[in-house]
Amino acid sequence: MAVRPLEPPSARTRADGGDHVTARRRTRPTHNPRKGAPVRLQLALDAPEHLALVPRLTPFFDIIEVGTPVLKRFGLTAITTVAELSGGAEILADTKTVDGGALEAAMVFGAGASAMTVLAQASPATRTATLEVARAHGGTVIFDTILDGTFDVATLADLDQDELWLALHAPSDARLAGNGTEDHIARVADRRQRGCRVSLAGGIGRTNLEKVLAVAPDVIVIGSSVTGAANPEKEASWLSTTVAQARG
């Protein structure tokens, strides 16, 4: 299956005075960028009230994430709702699957998600079952290291090179408790050297964006620094512009 990179947010058109993104894709957007593609931005929606921000913020992001709390609150309808609100943007469902991979993958991709997450510590059987369904749907599976930032990627040696998607994820509860670190940022270069595509999440915003761009993850996940901002659109615009400048 040929992989076509998602066009950058700046290239999208908006209707009705710029409030909504025009749905230009008839087929499922692809999560996999080409190797060597510029870093992309992902917006994480982790609370029900964040859904109201989707039409306003989608133009600044390449991927919209339906966060785990939102999935638990609304179920699969959260995926279809975000798809409608975003005008057909690429959607990642942060399922954090640890078992029942085939069943969860069939539901999530069937609802229209482009990608889903599986805990990196899940069994090889779960990884295989999830990936088989993902391939059938043209979807992507990202293996999340939130339980252990030092996770040995050699454990994923059974995966094809193009399926080595790793999420380096700093836990939000640890950060809120004052125990957060930026170790996940420091690990990006090593994981990329080992052949992984890397999605970087947790505590990213104005204060450390320069450091994040320096290590060049494939995807930068932005959450509360935008959704919790006094002016989310202004903050999203600044982040998008800064990343675009780094893209060259």
Task: Give the closest residue to 118 by CA, choosing from 138, 92, 95, 139.
Answer: 95
Query: Cα separation of 83 and 175, whole Å?
Result: 30
Q: Which two tokens stand for residue 106?
A: 């069939």
pLDDT at 4: 32
pLDDT at 31: 62
Query: Cα separation of 120 and 104, whole Å?
Result: 16
Domains of the chain: 39-247 (3.20.20.70)
pLDDT at 23: 33
pLDDT at 96: 98
pLDDT at 91: 98
pLDDT at 175: 79
Q: Which residue has the tokens 């899940």?
A: 122
Q: Which two tokens stand for residue 67?
A: 């966060």
pLDDT at 129: 97
pTM of structure:
0.85
Q: Which two tokens stand for residue 171?
A: 């836990």
Taking only the tens of pLDDT, the chain with its 248 residues reads 333 333 334 334 333 344 433 333 334 555 655 455 789 999 999 999 999 999 999 999 999 999 999 999 999 999 999 999 999 999 999 999 999 999 999 999 999 999 999 999 999 999 999 999 999 999 999 999 998 888 999 999 888 888 999 999 988 888 788 877 899 999 999 999 999 999 999 999 999 999 999 999 999 999 999 999 999 999 999 999 999 998 77
Query: Cα separation of 111 and 107, whole Å?
Result: 6
pLDDT digits (tens, 9 = 90+) for 99-109: 999 999 999 99
pLDDT at 238: 97
pLDDT digits (tens, 9 = 90+) for 27-67: 455 565 545 578 999 999 999 999 999 999 999 999 999 99
Show the 3-state SS of the chain: CCCCCCCCHHHCCEEHHHCEECCCCCCCCCCCCCCCCCCEEEEEECCHHHHHHHHHHHHHCCEEEECHHHHHHHCCHHHHHHHHHHCCCEEEEEEEECCCHHHHHHHHHHCCCCEEEEECCCCHHHHHHHHHHHHHHCCEEEEECCCCCCCCHHHHCCCCHHHCEEEEECCHHHHHCCCCCCHHHHCHHHHHHCCCEEEEECCCCCCCHHHHHHHCCCEEEECHHHHCCCCHHHHHHHHHHHHHHHHC
pLDDT at 70: 98
